[in-house]
């Protein structure tokens, strides 16, 4: 098997990061005086226990995924070097790889998504409902993954010197199309949506949006209470599919002013074009990742041209699956640092839009209680995994 310095560096970085996360996942929590002044010790222990257990399962799942893909590369290396399947056969093989990975992680997915959520009183789903969502989610993921990696194999096979450029351009197009279509095609598979019926609330949302200088196409309410007691809201879509989605649990479990503060935060994301900026950053990351993979292929000699044409074989798919999985994990600290900066910017704008710092303190205390949020996560865990500032940081920002 050929070696690649780039692959070894990425693998080493991934192992260091996961070791740091294991350190955080198995550390005993220590709560500051500030946290204890805002939350009772029983809640802090329970929330930290939930987050710690969730993280431990997620890390085990990550390691199983890596092990499965590493085994595919190592044990299939010699066989794949002679395997140059037509595109339909390649698609079938890629589908089998993903199905095998889903089956490998199914016990942990069940434990994390069903058992833990019920143990900590966060889920309202029965097993049949959970399984239906799980199967739909994996079916969507399978179709998208097979299309992407079959297309990737075709590009490497037919354009051995420029495939990474073409793949980068196609990735940008797919990101734009996916961002536009996701709220129209994928979200409705998991939730039922209706327009917000509260006319006064709608008026106040439109007023806030106008104050922020943006047009809100739609504010939708999702029937999340069928599945969870957690409260949430998010912004999604692009162009005419752009909308704010609010969980019904936010409207029933929180005051109107608190719900408006959450929506103000989502409006702020639009104001600062965070979706567009996220797509641009993802495109840059994608081009860098593809170019690095191109260099890995070059170092290991598993693609390129000969006098007979392309010499790419199925090893390019196996190596790409493992490489992208490791590299995306290594990129998490940078991605999430950017995400946290976006969230802080949206928090500041939401405070300005609502005109009340006290409201945001109350809101984040109540959100933490509803979602069993870890108020003070381990610094390593926060730096690597957290897309949002911690609850205590968000309260301090509003204080």
- Look at 302 and 51; give whichever has higher pLDDT: 51
Using one digit for the tens of pLDDT, what is the confidence trace for 205-236?
Answer: 888 888 888 877 678 999 999 999 999 888 88
Domain boundaries along the sequence of the chain? 33-189+303-331
**Residue 2 pLDDT level (bands cut at 50, 70, 90):** low
User: What token pair was written down for 222?
Assistant: 């999702």
Burial 301-337 (b: 16+ CB within 10 A, else e): ebbeeeeeebebbbbbbbbbbbbbbbbebbbbbebbe
Q: What is the pLDDT of residue 359?
A: 93
Mean pLDDT of 139-149: 97
Q: What is the pLDDT of residues 9-27, one digit of tens each?
A: 999 999 999 999 999 999 8
pLDDT at 307: 42
Distance CA 335, CA 286 (A): 12
Res 333: pLDDT: 97
14-71: pLDDT as tens digits: 999 999 999 999 988 889 999 999 999 999 999 999 999 999 999 999 999 999 999 9
Helices (H), 182-314: 199-212, 248-253, 256-271, 274-300
| Ranges 84-88, 145-149, 170-174, 215-219: which has the least confidence | 215-219
Taking residues 286-315, what's their average pLDDT? 81
Rg (alpha carbons) of the chain, rounded to whole number: 23
pLDDT at 265: 92
Give the whole-angstrom CA distance, residue 380 versus residue 373.
16
d(CA 200, CA 183): 25
Place of tokens 């106040």: 204
pTM value is 0.92
pLDDT at 310 over 70: no
Average pLDDT over residues 4-12: 93
What is the CB neighbour count within 10 angstroms for residue 295? 15
Query: pLDDT at residue 327 above 60?
Result: yes
User: Which is more confident, 218 or 362?
Assistant: 362
Inter-axis angle of helices 315-330 and 5-25, to 10 degrees? 50
Position 306 scores a pLDDT of 46
């Amino acid at each position: 098997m050929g070696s690649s310095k780039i692959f070894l560096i990425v693998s080493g970085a991934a192992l260091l990061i996961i070791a740091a996360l294991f350190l955080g996942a198995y550390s005993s929590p220590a709560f500051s005086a500030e946290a204890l002044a805002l939350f009772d010790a029983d809640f802090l222990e329970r929330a930290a226990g939930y987050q710690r257990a969730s993280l431990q399962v997620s890390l085990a799942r990550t390691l199983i995924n890596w092990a499965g893909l590493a085994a595919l590369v190592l044990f299939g290396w010699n066989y794949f070097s002679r395997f140059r399947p037509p595109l339909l056969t390649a698609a079938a093989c890629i589908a089998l790889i993903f199905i095998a990975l889903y089956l490998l992680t199914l016990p942990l997915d069940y434990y994390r998504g069903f058992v833990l959520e019920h143990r900590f009183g966060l889920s309202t789903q029965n097993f049949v409902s959970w399984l239906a969502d799980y199967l739909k989610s994996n079916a969507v993921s399978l179709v998208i993954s097979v299309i992407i990696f079959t297309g990737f194999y075709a590009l490497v096979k037919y354009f051995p010197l420029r495939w990474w450029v073409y793949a980068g351009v196609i990735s940008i197009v797919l990101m734009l199309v996916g961002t536009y279509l996701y709220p129209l095609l994928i979200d409705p598979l998991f939730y039922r949506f209706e327009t917000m019926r509260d006319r006064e609330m709608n008026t106040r949302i439109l007023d806030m949006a106008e104050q922020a200088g943006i047009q809100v196409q739609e504010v939708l309410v999702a029937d999340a209470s069928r599945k969870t007691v957690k409260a949430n809201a998010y912004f999604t879509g692009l162009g005419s599919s752009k909308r704010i989605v609010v969980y019904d649990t936010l409207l029933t479990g929180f005051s109107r002013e608190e719900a408006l503060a959450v929506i103000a935060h989502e409006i702020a994301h639009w104001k600062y074009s965070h979706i567009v900026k996220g797509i641009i950053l993802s495109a840059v990351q994608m081009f860098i990742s593809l170019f690095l993979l191109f260099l890995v292929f070059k170092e290991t000699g598993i693609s390129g041209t000969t006098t007979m044409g392309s010499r790419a074989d199925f090893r390019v798919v196996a190596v790409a699956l493992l490489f992208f999985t490791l590299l995306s994990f290594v990129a998490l600290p940078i991605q999430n640092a950017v995400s946290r900066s976006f969230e802080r910017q949206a928090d500041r704008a939401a405070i300005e839009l609502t005109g009340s710092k006290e409201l945001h303190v109350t809101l984040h205390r109540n959100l933490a209680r509803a979602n069993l949020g870890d108020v003070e996560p381990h610094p390593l865990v926060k730096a690597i995994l957290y897309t949002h500032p911690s609850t205590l940081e968000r309260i301090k920002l509003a204080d």
